[in-house]
Amino acid sequence: MAKDILRKPGGFMDTFVYKPGQDKGNTHYCPGCGHGILHKLIAEALVDLGVVDRTIMVSPVGCSVFVYYYFATGNIQVAHGRAPAVATGLKRSNPDSIVISYQGDGDLAAIGGNNILHAANRGENITVFFVNNAIYGMTGGQMAPTTLLGQKTMTSPYGRKIENEGYPMKVVELLSTLSAPAYLERTSLDDSKNIAKTRKAVRKAIQCQIDGKGFSLVEVLSMCPSQWKTTPVESKKWIKERMIPYYPLGVKKDVIEERAGYFPPKIDIDDESIKEMLGLKKEKLFRDRAMSDVPEKYRNPQIKIAGFGGQGVLLLGQTLAEAGMRHGWNVSWIPSYGPEMRGGTANCQVNISEGPIGSPVVDFPTILVALNKPSLDKFEETVQPGGVVFYNTSMIDRKPKRNDIEAIGLPFSDIADELGSLKFANMVVVGAVLEKTKLIDMDIVKDALKEVIHNKKFVETNIVAIDRGAKAV
């Protein structure tokens, strides 16, 4: 029985794995911190409301940055203060999902002040849990917009003063002046009665989203004994005696009952609208090859292309993605490059998929293109077993070490040089990759080139480069 009472809620991961192979068993939070309590209330609510499988937790920066260690939901970690914007995108593109933005006071009220204001003002149908511990916890206890008057922090060592830092910001009251939000409440974690009220508010806020009623936010007053330089017991007292008088608890806005739920119509993108988007009005979309016609090991590839800045790495990825899109498949392309115009490292990540793409990030590619030695050194280990590595023998003087991958070495740069410029190496790669994998018809790629290459006089030579790559492989 006791075992049953103490079980972890199903909304949590079975094990808290921080790094592969490391199950910490507990959380990374300090003793007495409120985050763990709120996590538990949310995890339980997700189970009881039956939405664990369609929830996406969005964690920005702050002590709760590692929300993704704990919740058995979809998770995305985003830039400081930007959770409401990312949550907006997630919810709008996946209206059936339940999107939860989990933010601290530094994150939500300081750097992300504009983000939360506009998400609330637009009435996004998302749920925000706002942990107000009156300080920047993660970075060592600097003043937050919610720091109390007289409160000493690292950056207000004599105590916050109205003349210097202004008044502490009352976020739920501020948002309650907007027309759009459906439900705004402030609760606290300082005693069991208030925890029970927080539990109720957490559920109500998530239900509000499930019912399509619009923006909901719960501000939760929460202990931070480490940065308040006090004990867990004293911090609870401090909330009761100092925080609650300034930040009164209770519902600040609730129009849930008055509202009809809104569920955006499903957008069905048909072939005609895709053609229109691509400017292919008169041509047909090429859908004559199913992914099942592609050799099994090359299907739905996750591709990483890496080399020096200036080797055309990004254009190479764009060309593959553009061609895949013209083929009618789902594609994604994201670049990653250093600040140097030339000589720095660059890589891009491309997904080509018959089904929806969950994430554009390719950490473990099925196809790696390494145009220089540092790229092979860095990414060889990440290739999925059974994957394929195309490597540039003009610049790489070793073979891949792994024997569970297919290695195809070709002198991409030398072939490009023969065509008049090293810049054509990327298209030689395109030809080689497509000839080998049979992913996309060469005609489609050549057509796509007209889109991705801005200087039209180079289109013909690039087509020759593609043919040379195909021949070489």
Ligand X SMILES: Cc1ncc(C[n+]2csc(CCOP(=O)(O)OP(=O)(O)O)c2C)c(N)n1
Cα dihedral: 234, 238, 244, 249 (round 10): -20
Q: Is 136 in the site for ligand X (CB under 6 A)?
A: yes
Q: Is 144 in the site for ligand X (CB under 6 A)?
A: yes
The neighbouring-strand residues paired with 347 are 306, 336
- Choosing from 9, 137, 214, 365, the residue that interacts with ligand X (CB under 6 A) is 137
Query: Is the separation of the CB atoms in 424 and 461 below 8 Å?
Result: yes
Long-range Cβ pairs for the range 202-206 (8 Å, 24+): 202/38, 202/41, 202/42, 202/45, 202/129, 203/45, 203/48, 203/49, 204/256, 205/127, 205/128, 205/129, 206/42, 206/45, 206/46, 206/49, 206/51, 206/98, 206/100, 206/127
Q: Is 37 in the site for ligand X (CB under 6 A)?
A: no
Nearer to ligand X, 144 or 331 (CB): 144
CB neighbours of 132 closer than 8 A, spacing ≥ 6? 105, 146, 171, 219, 220, 221, 222, 243, 247
Stretch in the footprint of ligand X (CB under 6 A) among 134-142, 206-214, 352-360, 424-432 = 134-142
Nearer to ligand X, 168 or 431 (CB): 168
Q: How far apart are CA 263 and CA 269, in angstroms?
A: 18
Query: Is the separation of the CB atoms in 131 and 189 below 8 Å?
Result: no
Nearer to ligand X, 81 or 309 (CB): 81
Q: Is 105 in the site for ligand X (CB under 6 A)?
A: yes
As measured in angstroms, the least distance from the Cβ of 314 to ligand X is: 25
Mark 65-84 with x for binding to ligand X (rule: CB under 6 A) and - for no binding: ---------------x----
As measured in angstroms, the least distance from the Cβ of 224 to ligand X is: 6
Nearer to ligand X, 83 or 314 (CB): 83
Q: Is 28 in the site for ligand X (CB under 6 A)?
A: no
- Choosing from 47, 138, 472, 473, the residue that interacts with ligand X (CB under 6 A) is 138
Q: Is 189 in the site for ligand X (CB under 6 A)?
A: no
Nearer to ligand X, 78 or 320 (CB): 78
Q: Which of 105, 101, 98 is nearest to 49 (CA)?
A: 98
Stretch in the footprint of ligand X (CB under 6 A) among 135-143, 208-216, 247-255, 430-438 = 135-143
Helices (H) and strands (E) in the chain, counts: 19, 15
As measured in angstroms, the least distance from the Cβ of 206 to ligand X is: 21
Nearer to ligand X, 105 or 185 (CB): 105
- Choosing from 22, 139, 164, 231, the residue that interacts with ligand X (CB under 6 A) is 139
Query: Is the separation of the CB atoms in 377 and 368 below 8 Å?
Result: no
Q: Residues 112 to 131: which contact ligand X by CB under 6 A?
A: 131
Mark 49-68 with x for binding to ligand X (rule: CB under 6 A) and - for no binding: ------------xxxx----
As measured in angstroms, the least distance from the Cβ of 81 to ligand X is: 8
Residue 136 φ then ψ, to 5°? -85, 105
Query: Is the separation of the CB atoms in 317 and 348 below 8 Å?
Result: yes
As measured in angstroms, the least distance from the Cβ of 187 to ligand X is: 16
Q: How far apart are CA 422 and CA 211, in angstroms?
A: 58
Q: Is 106 in the site for ligand X (CB under 6 A)?
A: yes
As measured in angstroms, the least distance from the Cβ of 31 to ligand X is: 15
Residue with CB nearest ligand X? 104
Pairing mode, if any, of strands 406-410 and 388-392? parallel
Query: Is the separation of the CB atoms in 135 and 94 below 8 Å?
Result: no
Amino acid identity at 9:
P
- Terminal CA-to-CA distance of the chain, rounded, Å? 65
As measured in angstroms, the least distance from the Cβ of 106 to ligand X is: 3
Nearer to ligand X, 154 or 196 (CB): 154
As measured in angstroms, the least distance from the Cβ of 142 to ligand X is: 7
Q: Residues 402 to 441: which contact ligand X by CB under 6 A?
A: none
Residue 62 φ then ψ, to 5°? 140, -175
Q: How far apart are CA 448 and CA 435, in angstroms?
A: 16
Nearer to ligand X, 160 or 204 (CB): 160
Query: Is the separation of the CB atoms in 253 and 214 below 8 Å?
Result: no
As measured in angstroms, the least distance from the Cβ of 265 to ligand X is: 36
Binding site for ligand X (CB under 6 A): 61-64, 80, 104-107, 111, 131, 133, 135-139, 144
